[in-house]
Amino acid sequence: MAFARSRQALAIAGVLGLALGATACGTGNDKKSDKAGSAECAAYEKYSGHDGKKVTIYSSIRDVEDERLKQSWKEFEDCTGIKIDHEGSGEFEAQLPVRVDGGNAPDLAFIPQPGLLKRFADAGKLKPASADTKAMAEANYSPDWLKYSTVDGKFYGAPLGSNVKSFVWYSPKMFQEKGWQVPQTWDDLIKLSDQIAASGTKPWCAGIESGDATGWPATDWLEDLMLRTAGPEVYDQWTTHGIPFNDPKVAEALDKVGTILKNEKYVNGGFGGVKSIATTSFQEAGTPITSGKCALHRQASFYANQWPEGTKVAEDGDVFAFYFPGIDPAQKPVLGGGEFVTAFADRPEVQAVQTYLASGEYANSRAKIGDWVSANKKLDINNVPNPVDKLSVGILQDPKTVFRFDGSDLMPAAVGTGTFWKGMVAWINGKDTKTVLNDIEGSWK
C-alpha cells in the first residue's frame, strides 16, 4: 500500500516537474537590419540611432487594415532597425484605459476620440509630443486638426488617417439617365429632392441601426447641419458645452435635418416610412440606390466599402459621392474624423516613430497601399488610388475647407456615445425636437 502510494506521488511529481520545465522554455528571436546605409534609406537618416529598439503601438485597426499598416512602415523598420510591434483590438476604447490604469500602457496609441485623448491628458498619463514631432505636425497639418490633440496648451500628437463625413452618395448613372444635376447649394439639394419625389421615387434613404452604437449616423446629420446653419464657431461652442445642447440654434439645425429625415415624402426609399430609419442598419441603408429605389444617401467616405460586391465606385460608375452642400456656397465646412498618434512613453525611439508617422513620407507610403485618407498636406493626391479617397483628400487639402471633428467624439462619453445617440433614435421615432434636446442637455453635467 505504502509502496503504491509513493509511486503515485512520484508520478504526480514527475508530471509537475515536466510542466514547470516546459514553462521555463521561452522563445527568443532577434532580427538585425542590414539594409541601413543603402540609397532608399537616405530619407530615414534623421530617425537613425535606435537600432534594435522596440516600440509598441495599440489601436483599433485590425485584419486587412492591420496588414497594410505593417506594410506601410516596413521600410522604416528595415532602415532604422526600430522594431514596431502593432496590436489592434476590437475593444480598443474599453481596453486602453484598463491597460493604462494597470501600468501596462503601450508606447503609442492611435486614439480616434479627442474626448478620450483629453481624459488621458488630464489624468497626466500622456507624454507631450517632442519638439521634433510638433514641428513636423505643424508643417503637415492645418491648425483645425492640431487643436484636437492640444490640451491646456500642450500638444500631444499628430493626426494619422482621416475620413470625410460630409458626403452624399448617389448613382452617376441614374443622375445621367434622368438628367439630374449634382447640387451645389442646400436649396439646390432640396429642389432636387422635390423633383425626385415628384417623379415617384422617395429621394432619400437612411439607416441609423448599428448594434449598441445605434443612432450615430443621425448625430452626424445634426453635426453637419450645425456647421451649415450656425457656423464653425458656434459648432465649437456647442461641442464644448459653451452653449447648452437645447440652444435655439441647435433646435434650428435639428429642424433642418427634419425637413429631410422626418419628411414622409423624402424618406425612406426602399425601406418604408420615417420610422424605418431607426431599424435599418447603416451598412445596408444606401443599397436601394443600386436598385433605383432611392437616389441620395448621406454617409461618410468609408461607406465606399459597404456597397454590394461588383458595384463600381467611381465618378462614372454605379455609385459615387458628392460634397454635402453648404447653405452659403462660399463656405465649405467639412465634418470628419480621424485618429491621433499619442505617446505614453518618451523614450527617444518612441519619439522617432511618432515624428515619422506625422511625416509626408509616411502618409505617401501608406496612401500608396490603398484605402486610406489623410489630411497630411504633403500627401500627393496622385498616390491615392481610389476615386472616393481622391475626392476626400482633395476636400481635406482645399484651403477653403473649414474642418471640424465629429462632435459626438468631442463630447463627454455619457453624452457623445450615450444620450446623444439615444436622443436621435427617439427623435426619429417621433419625439419632438424640443423634448429630445432638453433630455440630452439634462444628461450633460
Partner 1 sequence: MEFDFAAEQPKFLMLMYGLIAFVAVVGGLLLLLDVVPTWFARRREAQLVAASASGAPVPRRRKQREGVFAFFFLLPTLLLLTIGLVVPAIRTTLLSFMDARSTNWVGLDNYGWMFAEDSIFRVLINTLIWVLLVPLVASGFGLIYAVLVDRARFESVAKSLIFLPMAISFVGAAIIWKFVYAYRGDEQDQIGLLNQIVVSLGGEPKQWLLESPLNTFLLIVIMVWIQAGFAMVVLSAAIKAIPADIIEAARLDGTTPWQMFWRITMPSIRPALIVVVVTISIATLKVFDIVRTATNGNYDTNVIATEMYNQAFRYGENGQGSALAVFLFVLVLPLVIYQIRNLRKQREG
Binds partner 1 (CB under 8 A): choice among 94, 103, 143, 152: 94
Q: Are 37 and 66 in contact (CB under 8 A)?
A: no
Alpha-carbon span 213 to 149, nearest angstrom:
24
- Region of residue 370 (phi > 0: left; psi between -120 and 50: alpha; otherwise: beta): left
Q: Which is nearer to partner 1, 131 or 414 (CB)?
A: 414
Q: Which is nearer to partner 1, 354 or 417 (CB)?
A: 417
CB of 93 to partner 1, least distance (A): 9
Single-letter amino acid code for the residue at 102: G
Q: Is residue 292 involved in binding partner 1 (CB under 8 A)?
A: no
Query: Which ranges in 25-91 belong to alpha helices (H)?
Result: 63-72, 74-80
C-beta pairs of 67-73 under 8 Å, 24+ apart in sequence: 68/366, 68/369, 68/370, 68/371, 68/372, 69/366, 71/369, 72/362, 72/365, 72/366, 72/369, 73/356, 73/357, 73/362, 73/365
Query: Which ranges in 102-244 belong to alpha helices (H)?
Result: 114-122, 131-140, 143-146, 172-178, 186-198, 216-229, 232-239
Stretch that binds partner 1, among 4-12, 28-36, 363-371, 398-406 (CB under 8 A): 4-12
Alpha-carbon span 223 to 414, nearest angstrom:
17
Q: Which is nearer to partner 1, 385 or 442 (CB)?
A: 442
Alpha-carbon span 260 to 224, nearest angstrom:
13
Q: Which is nearer to partner 1, 172 or 418 (CB)?
A: 418
In the block, cell 486638426 appears at 145
Number of residues counted as binding partner 1 (CB under 8 A): 43
Stretch that binds partner 1, among 29-37, 106-114, 385-393, 409-417 (CB under 8 A): 409-417
Binds partner 1 (CB under 8 A): choice among 37, 52, 242, 272: 272
Of residues 13 through 72, those in contact with partner 1 by CB under 8 A are 13, 15-16, 19-20, 22-23, 27, 63
Q: Is residue 217 involved in binding partner 1 (CB under 8 A)?
A: no
- Smallest CA-to-CA distance from 260 within 310, 349, 324, 322 is with 324
CB of 301 to partner 1, least distance (A): 25
Q: Is residue 212 involved in binding partner 1 (CB under 8 A)?
A: yes
Rg of the chain on CA atoms, in Å: 26
Q: Could you give the string, one character per residue 314-353, with x where binding to partner 1 holds by CB under 8 A and - elsewhere?
A: ----------------------------------------
Q: Are 168 and 321 in contact (CB under 8 A)?
A: yes
Stretch that binds partner 1, among 49-57, 77-85, 224-232, 276-284 (CB under 8 A): 276-284
Single-letter amino acid code for the residue at 84: I
Q: Which is nearer to partner 1, 288 or 333 (CB)?
A: 288
Q: Is residue 387 involved in binding partner 1 (CB under 8 A)?
A: no
Q: Is residue 426 involved in binding partner 1 (CB under 8 A)?
A: yes
Query: Which ranges in 283-412 belong to alpha helices (H)?
Result: 348-357, 360-369, 387-397
CB of 281 to partner 1, least distance (A): 12
Q: Is residue 211 involved in binding partner 1 (CB under 8 A)?
A: yes
Give the end-to-end CA distance of the chain in Å, rounded to a whole number: 73
Binds partner 1 (CB under 8 A): choice among 35, 86, 249, 275: 275
Stretch that binds partner 1, among 71-79, 166-174, 244-252, 412-420 (CB under 8 A): 412-420
> What phi, psi does 33 have (nearest 5°)?
-90, 140
Cell of 101: 490604469
Rounded to the nearest angstrom, the gap between the alpha carbon of residue 161 and the centroid of all alpha carbons in its chain is: 8
CB of 344 to partner 1, least distance (A): 19
Q: Which is nearer to partner 1, 16 or 135 (CB)?
A: 16
Q: Is residue 90 involved in binding partner 1 (CB under 8 A)?
A: no
Kindly list the residues in this chain that would bind partner 1 in the complex (CB under 8 A). 2, 5-6, 8-9, 12-13, 15-16, 19-20, 22-23, 27, 63, 94, 119, 211-212, 214-215, 268, 270-273, 275-276, 278-279, 412-414, 417-419, 422, 425-426, 429, 439, 442-443
